[in-house]
Amino acid sequence: METTTADEPLLLGVDAGLTNVKAAVFDTDGRERAVAVRPTPNERPRAGRVERDLSAFWDVTCETIREVLGESTVEAGAIAGVGVAGHGHGLYALDDRGQPVRDGITSLDSRASDVVKSWDESGRSEAVRAITGYEPFVADPLSILGWIRQEEPEVYDAIDRLLFCKDYLKYRLTDVVCTDEMEASVFYDIEDEAYSSELFDTLGLGDCADALPPVVRSTAVCGEVTAAAADETGLEAGTPVASGLHDVGAVALGSGAFRPGQGSLIVGTWGQSIYVSAEPNSAGGGGLSRRYLGDAWLRYRGSRSAAAAVDWFTRECCRDWHDEAASDDAFYARLNETVAEVPIGSNGVVFLPNLQGSTDDPNERGAFVGLTIEHDRGEMLRSIYEGVALSLSDRLLELASEDGLTDVRLGGGGAKSAVWSQMFADVLDERVVVPTGEEAGARGVAICAGLAVGLYDDVESAVEHVVGVERRHDPTPAHTDAYREVHEAYRLAAEGVAPAWEKLTSIERETQTNDD
């Protein structure tokens, strides 16, 4: 590849998710010039806990940025701006010296389940809903703060600033502490769109209300790369950094969803069902509401296992397929061919994809329902594809409710599969659009960076320049009819096995306690 000169502006998007840190360089027309990916340094000290050493996290991010700049043979001076996305929720906190008070806690963590349960029973959760429009859940920063206050009081007392994942990386890049309007709205009074001290007082966390960071709009410059960060990343000192987005918003924007009425589905490690709305909670489908790009709202519900369910199953049950494949592409092609050969409904097997609990209930579990001795792994694999499609589609339709969908965008690694993409179109009975490129999250924050430095006039023109269409999938009426029957079986299976979850979780905890 030829070296790009500094006269040709490029944009760098960094997407620090739950599984990987990705850095991608784009030109102003959205073409991916280079991508680098490294695994995030997550640690699981015990069941239900997923943490991240922040020094190691920063090191991995620096290595990823240096790699993408080197691979693209781009002069660092060609980077006109940097955008950063990170997983939402969880908690990354600093003390008054700007140092982490403890390892970061990710949104896969469920240590705060007992805290949430006590808030539910005391009525505090409902009081929070009246302020914020949502009730605290296990990976919510409020719930994690409650756990820290209860279990690590010395850490709680040391907290000076509350940040999210991407905000920690921005801080290391720029030495500026801030967040954007999307993540700040976690702590908003939804009526006046400002930080709520009442929210913290309600939960007995009032002394943390002053730790909330300043808000800089997602598409504005929040700071510049410092000399120290330049040495570590290979970027030029003084390069502008945009405030960026929670990765759900970044993927929505990177897939072209920014107008009210648009939907976006992410089939990544997590799954996300996303709906762009003019108002918070304007539809009756629940979910979380977050400010989005200044004027809109993003309503979404997460699923803790989407593509992760396929990875789990193939790792445990299809190692021979992987070993026989000439490449990863050949392996995934075999998976898709296998799924395509199995009829809709997986010959009577239903899969519930809650392998890591759910955002509604951490005790929920995954399950195959309907297995017989006649079933094989091809049918089980298709049931996983179908279970994920049914789960995410259900949530999107609930979010849209009576407002309806104008179009649906599909992103994440699962969108590479034409078989899976068509399945979503058939289940939803809607056209599904798969955008070009694979790094929608990095693309979304690259758009933020382009807007921040004035390369685009507004969001609409930026999306027109940057987001293309790879494929369109129209629903097949006969398939949609068949999936209505499968959906009913899925619903009955979920309701039927739900009473067992709490008991199974209790057994698991008792076993771990005995092992300790």
- CA 289 vs. chain centroid, Å, equals 14
- Mean pLDDT in residue range 55-70: 97
Mean pLDDT of the chain: 93
Are 249 and 298 in contact by the 8 Å Cβ rule? The answer is yes
CA distance 385 to 124: 38
β-sheet bridge partners, residue 14: 23, 84
- Mean pLDDT in residue range 305-319: 95
- The residues, any chain, with a CB within 8 Å of residue 313's CB and separated by 6 or more, are 377, 380, 381, 384
Position 516 confidence tier, pLDDT thresholds 50, 70, 90? low
Position 401 confidence tier, pLDDT thresholds 50, 70, 90? confident
Confirm whether 328 is domain-assigned.
no
Are 139 and 89 in contact by the 8 Å Cβ rule? The answer is yes
CA distance 95 to 156: 10
Confirm whether 38 is domain-assigned.
no
pLDDT of 1 reads: 42
Residue 215 DSSP one-character state: B
- Mean pLDDT in residue range 164-173: 98
Confirm whether 343 is domain-assigned.
no
pLDDT of 286 reads: 67
Are 384 and 239 in contact by the 8 Å Cβ rule? The answer is no
Q: What tokens appear for 454 in the block?
A: 């004035």
Domain of 157? 104-162+187-215
pLDDT of 258 reads: 96
If one counts the domains in the chain, the total is: 1
Confirm whether 202 is domain-assigned.
yes
- Mean pLDDT in residue range 115-119: 96
- Mean pLDDT in residue range 321-350: 97
Confirm whether 42 is domain-assigned.
no
Least Cα distance to 256 among 437, 423, 393 occurs for 437
Position 48 confidence tier, pLDDT thresholds 50, 70, 90? confident
Residue 196 DSSP one-character state: -
Q: Is the pLDDT of residue 360 over 90?
A: no
Q: What is the pLDDT of residues 466-496, one digit of tens each?
A: 999 999 999 999 999 999 999 999 999 999 9
Are 195 and 111 in contact by the 8 Å Cβ rule? The answer is no
Q: Is the pLDDT of residue 452 over 60?
A: yes
Q: Is the pLDDT of residue 6 over 70?
A: no
In this prediction the pTM is 0.89
pLDDT of 402 reads: 76
Confirm whether 122 is domain-assigned.
yes
Range with the lowest mean pLDDT among 6-15, 41-50, 132-141, 278-287?
Answer: 278-287
pLDDT of 58 reads: 98
Are 219 and 459 in contact by the 8 Å Cβ rule? The answer is yes
Q: What is the pLDDT of residues 194-229, one digit of tens each?
A: 999 999 999 999 999 999 999 999 999 999 999 999
Q: The dihedral of CA 182, 184, 186, 190: what is its sign?
A: negative
Confirm whether 119 is domain-assigned.
yes
Q: Is the pLDDT of residue 7 over 80?
A: no
pLDDT of 228 reads: 98
Q: What is the pLDDT of residues 276-292, one digit of tens each?
A: 999 887 434 567 899 99
pLDDT of 515 reads: 60
Helix axes 124-132, 113-122, angle to 10 degrees: 90
Confirm whether 126 is domain-assigned.
yes
Are 409 and 255 in contact by the 8 Å Cβ rule? The answer is yes
- CA 144 vs. chain centroid, Å, equals 18
Q: Is the pLDDT of residue 131 over 90?
A: yes
- Mean pLDDT in residue range 54-80: 91
Helix H segments across 187-294? 197-202, 227-233, 247-254
- The residues, any chain, with a CB within 8 Å of residue 272's CB and separated by 6 or more, are 248, 251, 264, 265, 266, 300, 301, 302, 303, 392
pLDDT of 227 reads: 98
- Mean pLDDT in residue range 349-355: 95
